[in-house]
Amino acid sequence: MTSAIVVSGLHKSYGSTHALDGLDLEVATGEVHGFLGPNGAGKSTTIRVLLGLLKGDDGDASLLGGDPWHDAAKLHRRLAYVPGDVNLWPNLTGGEVIDLLGRLRGGQDPKKRDDLLRRFDLDPTKKGRTYSKGNRQKVALVAALASDVELLILDEPTSGLDPLMEEVFRQCIEEERQRDRTVLLSSHILSEVEALCDRISIIRRGKVVETGTLADLRHLTRTSIQAELAASPNGLAQLPGVHSLDVEGNRVRCEVDTALLDGLMKQLAASGIKSLVAQPPTLEELFLRHYEDDAAEPVAATR
């Protein structure tokens, strides 16, 4: 497996703001990689370093096998980038911008371009100043998706889109996955990343705190269980990994560390299971745990 992006120990400060604090990130060729984190976590900064727009203070970054700072223009012909804030030239039409960006990247597929325009319901004859935020974003998305490139770098590309268009976007990314294009998708929307990505890196305060497939990450989370048993259960409270236990007669509700699910199941089966509902963890929960840490940390940090 080759890597499209490898970042290790990257640091970047803006004056006194330490935006990246030893960030590690690896995106394999051909995967859709989710780059998930709250606002201000350092997603855009990382992407700008990868694009050679910012120079990292320390650490290494490699992009498509090259150095993002020194080989910037050469590498850029092989990728397409959609910024988080898209601004267009007031007097150029959306169609002109799409064509221009495609040509500067090294080609685009005209059929795909027209198809995308239709699917995103975008009028390419309007002037840049007359587009709404969502439509400006669509212009950049169409330009990127229609380009003949190996790698797509998308920085919160759906922040201005309505739900219908988000769905179109998801289909498009699904198609890119099938074509084996590499995608780095930054987002603070959990459901989006959950639905689209092969692997996920979670960034918090300039550091990647978790990385892996959705399945890998689920091991770090809890499954919630509701069961109705034949007899009243016993010994549940002593089991490792069981939390928020609530027993009412023969009914049980609890949460269990997903890795320790097996032990709980055996114990429940011993009392005879009549019905069982198990809810897999969502990224929401995963994320909440990091937020909980976030909330706790300032207290710990008080000197």
Partner 1 sequence: MNDFAGTTTLVRLALRRDRVILPVWILVFVSMAAGSAKASIDLYPDVASRVSAAETTNSSPALVSLYGRIYDPTSLGEVSLFKLTSFGALLVGLLAALLVVRHTRAEEESGRLELLSAGVLGRYAALTAALIVSAGTVIVLGLLTAVSLMGTGLPTGGSFAFGLTWIAAGLAFAGVGALTAQLTEGARTANGFTAIVLGVSYVLRALGDSSADGGSRWISWFSPIGWAQQIRPYAGDRWLLALAPLALLVVLVVAAFALIRRRDVGAGLVRPRPGPATAAASLRSPLALAWRLHRGSLLAWGFAFLLLGFVVGNIASNVDGFVSSEGAKDFVEKLGGVNGITDAFLSSEMGMLGLLASAFGIQAALRLRSEETALRAEPLLATGVTRYQWLASHVLMALLGTAVLVLVGGLGSGISSGASLGNMGRQVPRMLAAAAIQLPAIWVVTALVVLLFGLAPKLITTVWAFFGAFLLIGQFGPLFDLPQGLMDLSPYAHTPRLPGGDFSATPVIVLAAIALALLVAGSTTFRRRDVG
Ligand X SMILES: Nc1ncnc2c1ncn2[C@@H]1O[C@H](COP(=O)(O)OP(=O)(O)O)[C@@H](O)[C@H]1O
90: its two tokens: 């007031």
Q: How far is CA 279 from the centre of its chain?
A: 22
> Is 194 in contact with 256 (CB distance < 8 Å)?
no
Total residues contacting ligand X (rule CB under 6 A)? 11
Q: Which is nearer to ligand X, 138 or 205 (CB)?
A: 205
Instruction: For residue 50, give the nearest of 78, 18, 30, 16 by alpha carbon.
Output: 78
Q: Which is nearer to ligand X, 47 or 254 (CB)?
A: 47
Q: How far is the CB of 99 from partner 1 (least distance, A)?
A: 4
Which residue do the tokens 């727009």 mark?
Answer: 53
- Please select the residue that binds ligand X; options are 5, 7, 27, 41, rule is CB under 6 A: 41
Q: How far is the CB of 152 from ligand X (least distance, A)?
A: 17
Q: Which residues contact 62 (CB under 8 A, 6 or more apart)?
A: 3, 5, 6, 7, 68
- Please select the residue that binds ligand X; options are 2, 17, 232, 244, rule is CB under 6 A: 17
Q: How far is the CB of 285 from Mg ion (least distance, A)?
A: 24
Binding-site partner at residue 42 among Mg ion, partner 1, ligand X, none, CB < 5 to 8 Å by type:
ligand X
Binding-site partner at residue 168 among ligand X, Mg ion, partner 1, none, CB < 5 to 8 Å by type:
none
Please report whether residue 84 would count as binding Mg ion according to CB under 5 A: yes
Binding segment for ligand X among 33-41, 74-82, 129-137, 228-236 (CB under 6 A)? 33-41
- Please select the residue that binds ligand X; options are 9, 22, 40, 134, rule is CB under 6 A: 40
Please report whether residue 147 would count as binding Mg ion according to CB under 5 A: no
CA gap 141, 21 in Å, rounded: 30
Q: How far is CA 163 from the centre of its chain?
A: 17
Q: Which residues contact 180 (CB under 8 A, 6 or more apart)?
A: 30
Q: Which residues contact 269 (CB under 8 A, 6 or more apart)?
A: none
Binding segment for ligand X among 43-51, 67-75, 133-141, 174-182 (CB under 6 A)? 43-51
Q: Which is nearer to ligand X, 119 or 188 (CB)?
A: 188
- Please select the residue that binds ligand X; options are 5, 31, 36, 42, rule is CB under 6 A: 42
- Give the torsion sign (CA, 219, 220, 225, 230): positive
- Please select the residue that binds ligand X; options are 19, 98, 173, 197, rule is CB under 6 A: 19
Q: How far is the CB of 150 from partner 1 (least distance, A)?
A: 14
Q: What residue ranges bind partner 1 (CB under 8 A)?
A: 48, 51-55, 72-74, 76-77, 79, 81, 83, 85-93, 95-101, 103-106, 123-127, 129-130, 140, 153
Binding-site partner at residue 105 among partner 1, Mg ion, ligand X, none, CB < 5 to 8 Å by type:
partner 1
198: its two tokens: 């092969």
Query: Contacts with ligand X in 45-84 (CB under 6 A)?
Result: 45
Lateral strand order in the sheet of 222-229 = 242-248, 251-257, 222-229, 273-279
Q: Which is nearer to ligand X, 37 or 56 (CB)?
A: 37
Binding-site partner at residue 73 among partner 1, Mg ion, ligand X, none, CB < 5 to 8 Å by type:
partner 1
The footprint of ligand X (CB under 6 A) covers 14, 17, 19, 37, 39-45
